[in-house]
Structure formats: C-alpha cells, structure tokens
Amino acid sequence: AARSVRALADDPARLMGRLIQMLDQQMREKERLKLAFDNRHDGLWDWDFRSGEMYLSASWKEGLGYRDEEFGNDRGDWEVAIHPDDLPVVQDRVWRHLRGDGESFKIEYRLRAKDGDWQWMATLGRVVVRDDKGAPVRVVGTHRNITERKGWELELLRSKEVAESVSRA
C-alpha cells in the first residue's frame, strides 16, 4: 500500500486522476442518498449545532405544502411551526438528549402545514458528533408524517368509547 501511495505521489497526473475518481464516487453516493430521501415521505434533517443552521429536505417541506425556499433551514423556523401546546415537550426532549440522555430521541408532535392544518410528525434524531468536552456539534435525524396513523388511532379510541357506552347502557 505504501508503494502505491508513493507511486501516485511521484505521478501528479495519476494522482489527479485518482482524486477526480474519488470525488466522482462521493458525488454519486450523495446523489443516491438524496434520491432515496426525495422519493420517501420521510424528511431528512441535519443540524449544525454551532451555527444553528438546520438542513431540512425539500421533499419533506413539499409534503407540508411548502416550496423549499418557503420554509427556512433554521431551528427557529421549525420550532415556530410546532403546535404551541407541543413545543415545550419537544424542546425538553431534544435538550435532554443533547445533554446526554439516551443514544437517540423520538418525539411525536403537531406541525402546521402551509394550508394551516396541523400535521402529526414523528421525529427521530441523535447527536452524531460531540466536541472534546462532550458538547453536541452535529445532530441528524428524520421527520415522518404520521397524520394518517394518528387519525386511525383517534377513530379506534372513539369506537372503543362508543362500545363501552353501549355496553353500560
């Protein structure tokens, strides 16, 4: 292996060709990942804790009725869309994880779509990079729209309540 590295270093044209090949392979892998998430109902998110910037996949935004540029890539933009009753619970769970509680976190909450309707989301995330003091640097995860499932759960609960009421009567 050391011989092949030395051979590449001695031949700049070969070295450049190998670097281009590696970059091309990396770009293809990124494109495949993007295609996989763009064709799912899940949304990918990636939060740079130091800058506060949060990447939110365009396909997830579109599922809520937004164009990519209409819904910002910032933690504040995401939090403003969370139902006010759910926001404290979401923030608490995320911050507990950031402080080291658990390998990952999962939370269900309501988020406002562009048309004003509340959509149920399940967010799963985890810190993937911490600095040498243990502070979070990068957090990644997924958002999944679970509105349909929540509707079924509510319908099942209503049916159960009606059956119990009929049984008591």
Per-residue pLDDT tens digits for 51-81: 888 888 888 898 899 999 999 888 888 999 9
Query: 64 and 111 in contact (C-beta within 8 Å)?
Result: yes
Chain segment 76-96, per-residue pLDDT in tens: 889 999 999 999 999 999 999
Give the DSSP H/E element, type plus range, for residue 16: helix 12-38
How far is it, in rounded angstroms, from Cα 124 to Cα 94? 10
pLDDT of residue 16: 75
How far is it, in rounded angstroms, from Cα 74 to Cα 36? 23
Chain segment 17-55, per-residue pLDDT in tens: 777 888 877 776 766 566 555 555 578 889 998 888 888
pLDDT of residue 8: 60
How far is it, in rounded angstroms, from Cα 167 to Cα 156? 16
